[in-house]
Amino acid sequence: MSKIIVYASRYGSTRRYADKLSELTGVEAVDYSKVKDISAYDKVVYMGSILAGTVTGLKKTVSKMKVGQELVIVSVGMIDPKDPENVSGIRSIIRQQIPAELYDESRIFHLQGCIDYPNLKLSHRMLMSMMRSMASKKPEIELDAVSRTVLATYGQRIDYVDLSALDVIVPFV
Ligand SMILES: Cc1cc2nc3c(=O)[nH]c(=O)nc-3n(C[C@H](O)[C@H](O)[C@H](O)COP(=O)(O)O)c2cc1C
């Protein structure tokens, strides 16, 4: 069975997970912008960071897949994937990005990444500053998990990457 790990990572945490998963499984990990022919593999493991409510590159990558290919999706975001409410929020994002049949057939996992506010690119820094400002005006009860996390972490360098969390994913690769 031919397999590939494809990753989309702006700040490196998803790449760290993808490289480790590659090491653990012997499956090559390739940046999504460099994959030549995604339809040539029986199984695609897609690892993408969540930026502003979208799993980076997922829609584009899936659009190049053909019927019958197996897909494993791994999202990497800032919110805690041990909280079932957070998981259902992330899954609704993924559901909007891929066809319903593929969503139903795919294995989906969630990991936590890192965020380094001082080193974000300017447009991302501005977006996070806007999110923080909007969140700070809302009552606590109305805040979603992303807003709560932005308020709690803003301005800092937070690294939630836990490579041991890959252990549950390895058998599905
Ligand atoms: C501009 C921006 C928007 C983000 N939006 C979300 C989001 O909607 N949901 C979430 O869980 N994490 C969000 N994050 C956090 C990233 O998913 C997290 O930093 C992730 O580890 C980035 O992956 P990378 O290091 O591979 O680029 C956002 C981060 C940035 C910089």
The protein residue whose alpha carbon is closest to atom 19 in ligand 1 is 115
pLDDT more than 90, % of the chain = 99
- pLDDT for position 18: 98
Checking DSSP bridges between strand 43-51 and strand 29-31, what pairing results, if any? Answer: unpaired
| Whether the CB of 79 sits within 6 Å of ligand 1 | yes
Checking DSSP bridges between strand 114-116 and strand 157-159, what pairing results, if any? Answer: antiparallel
- pLDDT for position 173: 96
Position 104, amino acid: D
| Whether the CB of 24 sits within 6 Å of ligand 1 | no
- pLDDT for position 72: 98
- pLDDT for position 47: 98
- Residue 65 has which token pair? 């897949």
**Coil, helix or strand for 81?**
coil
DSSP labels, 86-132: HHHHHHHHHHHHS-HHHHHHSEEEEEE-EEEGGGS-HHHHHHHHHHH
Low-confidence ranges of the chain (pLDDT < 70): none
Number of domains in the chain: 1
Q: Which helix (H) or strand (E) holds 10?
A: none
- pLDDT for position 92: 96
Q: 112: domain range?
A: 3-172
- pLDDT for position 31: 97
The protein residue whose alpha carbon is closest to atom 28 in ligand 1 is 51
The protein residue whose alpha carbon is closest to atom 2 in ligand 1 is 51
- pLDDT for position 89: 95
Pick the atom of ligand 1 nearest to 86's CA: 11
- pLDDT for position 171: 98
What b/e string do you get for 72-94 counting C-beta neighbours within 10 Å, with b at 16 or more? bbbbbbbbebeeeebbebbeeeb
Measured in angstroms, how far is the CA atom of residue 9 from the centroid of ligand 1?
10
| Whether the CB of 69 sits within 6 Å of ligand 1 | no
Q: What is the CATH number of the domain that holds 29?
A: 3.40.50.360
| Whether the CB of 50 sits within 6 Å of ligand 1 | yes
- pLDDT for position 116: 96
The protein residue whose alpha carbon is closest to atom 11 in ligand 1 is 77
| Whether the CB of 4 sits within 6 Å of ligand 1 | no
pTM for the model? 0.97
